[in-house]
Amino acid sequence: MSKFLVLYSTVDGHTARICQRLQQRFERYGHAVTLADLGENPAIDLAPFDRVVVGASIRYGRHRPCVAAFMRAQRGALERRRCAFFTVNIVARKPAKNTPQTNPYMKKFLKQIGWRPPQLAVFAGRLDYPRYTFWDRQIIRFIMLLTQGPTDPATVIEYTDWQQVEAFARALGEP
């Protein structure tokens, strides 16, 4: 079986939850899996791994800088392995923006790194106003007002389609 590296960049922890779900599925298929926070491991050695999955969340329209830096620095090593990339964002709650071809953040990121990993996915994230800082809550409420999303500061909604996450795991992990 394969040795997977599942890396994530997360702001509020939801991308890490998705990566933990992927880890569980890959392990069920008999793979060895290492799960790591990209922000804490920006120079992780890819040599021991056959497959690499990177998941990154969006905040205020951007991935964290460490994600693009990692992809650029490790592009050669990533191209020699089976690899995948997924992004997690609230915009993906809308059916017209929930695929790699239609999600504006995925399209922007791929242009930014100048490379297209062979397997891509877009997952809708989680909206959790009570958990945000005061300023984050206000800014996100304003963005939601503009995009016709929920603005009640007590709102907690998980938009993630876990069946879609499972399908992604199957596509990557089935022997």
**pLDDT tens digits, residue range 62-113?**
999 999 999 999 999 999 999 999 999 999 999 999 999 999 999 999 999 9
Residue 140 belongs to what domain range?
A: 128-159
- The pLDDT value recorded for residue 155 is 97
CA distance 124 to 56: 12
Please enumerate in sequence order all residues whose Cβ is within 8 A of that of 139, keeping only pairs 6 or more positions apart, or say none: 60
What's the token pair of residue 119?
């397997």
**121 shares its domain with 78:** yes
58 neighbors 92 (Cβ within 8 angstroms):
no
**37 shares its domain with 83:** yes
Residue 175 scores a pLDDT above 80: no
Number of domains in the chain: 2
What does the chain come to in residues?
A: 175
- The pLDDT value recorded for residue 77 is 96
- The pLDDT value recorded for residue 174 is 82
CATH number for the domain harbouring residue 10: 3.40.50.360
**pLDDT tens digits, residue range 16-36?**
999 999 999 999 999 999 999
**9 shares its domain with 58:** yes
**31 shares its domain with 75:** yes
**31 shares its domain with 60:** yes
Average pLDDT over residues 38-45: 94
For residue 110, give the 3-state DSSP assignment.
helix
**65 shares its domain with 133:** no
pTM: predicted TM-score of the whole model, two decimal places: 0.94
**103 shares its domain with 152:** no
**91 shares its domain with 165:** yes
Average pLDDT over residues 57-64: 93
**84 shares its domain with 139:** no
For residue 171, what pLDDT band results from cuts at 50, 70 and 90?
very high
**45 shares its domain with 111:** yes
